[in-house]
Amino acid sequence: MAELRPPIESGAPDPMPYMHPVMVKNYGKWAFHSHPKPGVLYHRAESGDEIWTVKAGTARQMDHYTIRELADIADQYGDGFVRFTARSNIEYMVADGSKVEPLIKALSDKGYPIGGTANSVSMIAHTQGWLHCDIPGTDASGVVKALMDELYDDFVKCEMPNRVKLSTSCCEINCGGQADIAIIVQHTKPPKINHDLVANVCERPSVVARCPVAAIRPALVNGKPSLEVDEKKCICCGACFPPCPPMQINDPEHSKIAIWVGGKNSNARSKPTFHKLVAAGLPNNAPRWPEVAEVVKKILATYKEDGKPWERMIDWIDRIGWPAFFEKTGLPFTKYHIDNWRGGRYNLNASAHIRF
């Protein structure tokens, strides 16, 4: 068992003590890799050493009973080494190929799906949600649980044209990442200000500087120092809420969910891209978010049927064109989808962040 490491205040810890010995020995010297079946990866080193990786899906937030169960499976059926991915999957490494099938059976019997590799739908990268985040407009963890229940078959099977990466974010400003399909909170009303609390809670100059469109300015309300919002400028992003909780923007009625598609971080076969809005104003309908699941499944089904091998989501859209994307998916196209807003330069030049 590895020795307990002292806490590190900055930077990542040295990964070598926690790696499988075969990985440490052959670090950077791999000669071949393959994908024997969904959820299983195989690597062979220049030395001839072999290692198999079994990937299982887990919940983003787990109690210690679940973590102990996963660790017990590693000790009993694997080599005692695991790692968690950025998308909350757990990966077991074994140096003996005969251990792969018993390990898969042990995980499956406990309810952990095996998959998320190659041309499948990956586990959703997401933010903390209601349990940990201090500014959530929705529960990203809940959206993930509800949606992955619907996409179970697409996770355990490799039937997509290419890998499909999904992400969710419980606010508009912090953790939402680029992805083939992104589910992001959409605020539709400016913040409601509790003027009695602003002076005692908020550092007003910081809040003013935080606004990306210079829509916030100091004000005197009922004889107390406070803030006011120019609602004609406000883009309802929620950036003011973290440094100033009295500027409440989360709302059970007016905080919605939007779907964006076509984000891509890699350079493989095409350049990285920003995702674009395709559905807005979906109800923030906990705990199962059925309206969100319906839109995501509709997009995935169309992409699965119409995409060519190795096409990522944005490659498929670029080939058929955005008008065809909306026609094939059946999503309504409105004037709000047209990317021709010309106020950006004026607003950005008015902020403290960027000038051009």
Nearest CA to 277 out of 308, 317, 312, 240 is that of 317
Q: Which helix (H) or strand (E) holds 129?
A: none
Q: Quick one: pLDDT at residue 98? A: 97
pLDDT of 168 higher than 70: yes
Which has more pLDDT, 305 or 252? 305
Dihedral sign for Cα 161, 163, 168, 174, please: negative
Q: Of 163, 161, 149, 162, which Cα lies nearest the Cα of 293?
A: 149
Q: Which of 242-256, 276-290, 333-347 has the lowest mean pLDDT?
A: 333-347
Residue 355: pLDDT above 60? no
**Cβ neighbours of residue 22 closer than 8 Å, sequence gap 6 or more:** 45, 49, 50, 51, 93, 95
Cβ atoms of 173 and 286 within 8 Å: the answer is no
Domains identified in the chain and CATH numbers: 16-110 (3.30.70.3340), 121-188+252-342 (3.30.413.10), 192-235 (3.30.70.20)
Coil, helix or strand at residue 249: coil
Question: What average pLDDT is seen over the chain?
Answer: 90
Distance of alpha carbon 295 from alpha carbon 257, whole angstroms: 11
Residue 309 and residue 286: Cα distance in Å, rounded? 36
Instruction: Give whole-number Cα distances, 122 to 79, 110, 252, 299, 319, in Å.
Output: 25, 20, 30, 15, 23
CA dist., res. 103 & res. 193, Å (int): 54
Cα–Cα distance, 273 to 179 (Å, whole number): 9
Nearest CA among 267, 265, 257 for reference residue 183: 257
- pLDDT, tens digit, 9 for 90 and up, residues 91-124: 999 999 999 999 999 999 999 999 999 999 999 9
Residue 86 CA to residue 64 CA, distance in Å, equals: 19
The residues near 312 (Cβ < 8 Å, ≥ 6 apart) are: 161, 162, 163, 180, 264, 269, 270
Task: State the DSSP code for 159.
Answer: -
Give the per-residue pLDDT at 268. 83
Q: How many CA atoms does the CB half-sphere of 73 hold within 13 Å?
A: 26
Q: What is the mean pLDDT of residues 48-75?
A: 94
CA distance 35 to 120: 12
Prior bond of 287 cis (ω within 30°): yes
Give residue-wise pLDDT tens across range 144-161: 889 999 999 999 999 999
Tokens of 227: 């803030």
